[in-house]
Structure 1
Amino acid sequence: MQSVTLINHPCSVCGQPTSQWCSRCQSVWYCSPEHSKADWASHRHNCYPPVNSPATYSVNMIATPPPAEPELITVTALYFDPEQDRSEVISVQCMPSRKHSHGVCPTPLLQVYFPAGSPEGIAVTQGLNGENLRFPLHLWYCPKSLKMGAPVNRSVHRITSNAARKPWCGPVVVLKFNGSRRSSYMDAGSNDLPALSAYFLGYE
């Protein structure tokens, strides 16, 4: 085992001087394994290994619980089911980015809506009359469904009043960015339908 110089730091739970630290993030100090476990509910949200730092082992390290898993984020989205006449509001869970990926948008878990293949995303940044959207939309679709001549999406067909230049095929899920930086999502709803109608009308 690697030897280290013993330097006392205050325990994160009780403040007692200690030379033991979290074995994963190596940045939080505990006087005992019991206090490490007691603090885990809070500490787990920020417990990540140092970036680009080789693993080190020491008698001073306190073993931590399994790696912290980010909590899923839930937002509402619009779902255009190919076999339904109207879109519906659904709840979508998103996997947040790791701490060192700050500013990266969470990943929506959408596979259940796209049984024919993996979905891809398109950013819709303009609404009616070409005005820029303050909160851009993130339209997810399956390229395979779009290209293989799947049945026309009835709910998309409805909001365009059958006036689209080209019919849209396959399912669509639409999330809403929280701003122009597109770093996270906010709830989408029926107020976003006019902008989507404009997008589908111009789709070629």
Structure 2
Amino acid sequence: MNGNSSIIHHPCTLCCRPTSMWCSRCQNAWYCSPEHLQSDWPRHRKECLAPTPPPSHVTIQTPPPAIPEIIAVSAILFVPNQERPQIVSVNCQPTRSAQPGSCPSPMIRDFFLESQPQSIVLTQGLNSEPLRFPLHLFYCPISLSRGSPVNRAIYRITSGAAAKAWSGPVLVLKFNGSRRQNYSDAGTNDLPALSAYFLAYK
């Protein structure tokens, strides 16, 4: 049973005493107590079908929440057997249950067929300068640990001077700001910061 002191009092269906409480299922039958609703239930359940607002109230229906749309951003892909990195499109799915302002999830499974990728966030660029737009690197830890062939695209942008050779695919997305709430398009202007990172990684 529901009640509200601002509602006009109606007579109880059983005893006619004024009440502001009604059957919460249909909101059409008025009762002064839960006991009276229970007593009248064998009769009332036959008419208690669907919620219908009381005549003295206006119900406003709100539309269902919008389903977030998938967004596509440009990312940098270092393919192991190619000499140059590629610019590829990555779909990002906004998370439905997350708090407002949380970053969407990139759909990157097709780029990492060997295993589940791991990721790191690069926040510093050349000369340890903070990056205004941090870079999100995804890589295959199995490829690094088992000595897969060296990633030729990374080898090329570091001129082979990296302390540790990178193996397997590497995918780089770019955050749209330091709060990391969304992604924006990554491009070739992000390569110097990536090169510095690959050179320094041990």
Q: Which amino acid aligns with 1:196?
A: L
Aligned to 1:91: 89
Radius of gyration: which is bigger? 2
Give runs of aligned pairs for residues 144-183 of structure 1, distance below 5 A. Answer: 144-183=142-181
Q: In the alignment, does 2:25 pair up with 1:3?
A: yes
How far did residue 101 of structure 1 move? 2.2
Q: Residue 8 of structure 1 contacts residue 19 of structure 1 at CA under 8 Å; is this kept in 2?
A: no
Report the TM-score when normalising by structure 2: 0.71
Give runs of aligned pairs for residues 15-30 of structure 1, distance below 5 A. Answer: 19=59, 21=61, 28=62
Q: Which amino acid aligns with 2:75?
A: A
Structure 1 gap segments, 5+ residues each? 10-16, 22-27, 29-42, 48-67
User: Residue 101 of structure 1 aligns to a residue in which SS?
Assistant: coil
Which structure 1 residue ranges, 4+ long, deviate > 2 Å from structure 2? 4-9, 17-21
How far did residue 93 of structure 1 move? 0.3
Distance change >3 Å, CA 20–CA 129, structure 1 → 2: closer
From 188, 191, 194, the counterpart of 2:189 = 191
Give runs of aligned pairs for residues 18-167 of structure 1, distance below 5 A. Answer: 19=59, 21=61, 28=62, 43=63, 46-47=65-66, 68=67, 70-98=68-96, 100-167=98-165
Distance change >3 Å, CA 19–CA 78, structure 1 → 2: same
What's the RMSD between the two structures over aligned residues? 2.2
Distance change >3 Å, CA 144–CA 2, structure 1 → 2: farther
Q: Residue 78 of structure 1 contacts residue 189 of structure 1 at CA under 8 Å; is this kept in 2?
A: yes
Q: Which amino acid aligns with 1:189?
A: G
User: Residue 194 of structure 1 aligns to a residue in which SS?
Assistant: helix
Q: Which amino acid aligns with 2:91?
A: Q
How far did residue 19 of structure 1 move? 3.5
Percent identity reads 52
Aligned pair count? Answer: 155
Distance change >3 Å, CA 8–CA 124, structure 1 → 2: farther
Equivalent-residue separation in structure 1 for 2:55 and 2:167 (angstroms): 64
Equivalent-residue separation in structure 2 for 1:198 and 1:94 (angstroms): 27
Equivalent-residue separation in structure 2 for 1:180 and 1:129 (angstroms): 18
